[in-house]
Amino acid sequence: MSTDGRADRRARLGAAIARRGLDALVVSHLPNVQYLTGFTGTAATVALLRSGDLLFLTDFRYATQVRDEVGDAARIEIVAADPVGRLLERLAEYPGVAGVGFDGAALSWKAGERLRADARWRFEPAEGLVEALRARKDAGEVAAIREAGRVALEALEAVLGAVRPGLTETEVAARLELELRRRGSEWHPFPTIVASGPRSALPHAATSDREIRSGDFLLLDFGARIGGYCADVTRTVVVGARADGRQRTIYDLVREAQQRAVRGIAAGMTGRDADALARSVIEARGFGEQFGHSLGHGVGLEVHEEPRLSRTNDEPLPEGAVVTVEPGIYVPGWGGVRLEDDVLLAAEGPELLTDGDTELRELV
């Protein structure tokens, strides 16, 4: 991940900490740590003071890595055990610190209780401060997501030509994951979903050993990770035969709903209104009950992050957010279709970061 912008992110977070009436924020959710410091390891406890001072605690495994990735931006300490205890010791060296926030959703219950029990400071939960900053992507973040999308779709193209009846879902997933790694994906942002036939009606199906049959829908939901940033893509194809009338009808309906949402979504509209762009198309044709999940979600350092494109979100979508647009129709016992692309909510309008190529493909 580019180092550009990290100091500005910390400055903006410091201002947010001050607006909450706090003097410091303890950050332990690793994507938030990476966003603020560039650290990519798996053990870190960080405290950002409103003064700009940054305390960074990790363990021996990352003694070299943390200095390479974080450098002199933080006061780094390598601790063998009890990072919370060491953090409390270090906070005591800053007499102006009284109120300290922490992310109760990421910090363990035990650690949170220990903080609250220390009477020297006022510790309180302060969720969402870093996540609110992360929702708006800068140019470097957008470029990384775009590249991850390119890698993901190139890997898919390398695989689809070899997909045929008789292969198992697991075999297809393994080939796809190999092609992702060959093209530079650092890892898989989530377990690859390959679901065939009736199993394509399971929105989050676990890939299985089911053999793909001629005429099956094959739903592939997968992603790539570049520079720590994720792309999230879904395509649905027909294997070994031409689509029948029912398959084409439902596929075309999902595609129509997705295209309407991709064209119409914009910064400033609520998550509810964005969801309605696609949902209204599907409901008007009588399939509303078969579209049971939300239209999409933010994507970045995590594959699911803010904002949410859902019927329950009345908050405006921020300019600069990158979101998935992924309507679906799922008919139990028969099959399902989902189409998903990643979209930047730019000031001038929506911008596809994946290719948006959703013409029905029949692998015959």
Domain range list for the chain: 6-134, 139-363
Q: How far is CA 136 from CA 28, 132, 142, 223, in A?
A: 21, 8, 10, 21
pLDDT of residue 359: 98
Give the 3-state secondary structure of residue 178: helix
Q: Which amino acid type is present at position 169?
A: E
Does the structural domain 139-363 have CATH classification 3.90.230.10? yes
pLDDT digits (tens, 9 = 90+) for 24-33: 999 999 999 9
Token pair, residue 247, equals 């398959």
pLDDT of residue 2: 45
To the nearest whole number, what is the mean pLDDT of the chain? 95
pLDDT of residue 251: 98
pLDDT of residue 194: 98
Superfamily of domain 6-134: Creatinase/prolidase N-terminal domain (3.40.350.10)
pLDDT of residue 108: 81
pLDDT of residue 15: 95
Q: 335 and 200 in contact (C-beta within 8 Å)?
A: yes
Closest CA to 127 of 28, 263, 231: 28
pLDDT of residue 1: 43
pTM: 0.95
| Residues of the chain falling short of pLDDT 70 | 1-4
Q: Do domains 6-134 and 139-363 have the same CATH topology?
A: no
- In the chain, DSSP finds a helix count (H) and a strand count (E) of 10, 17
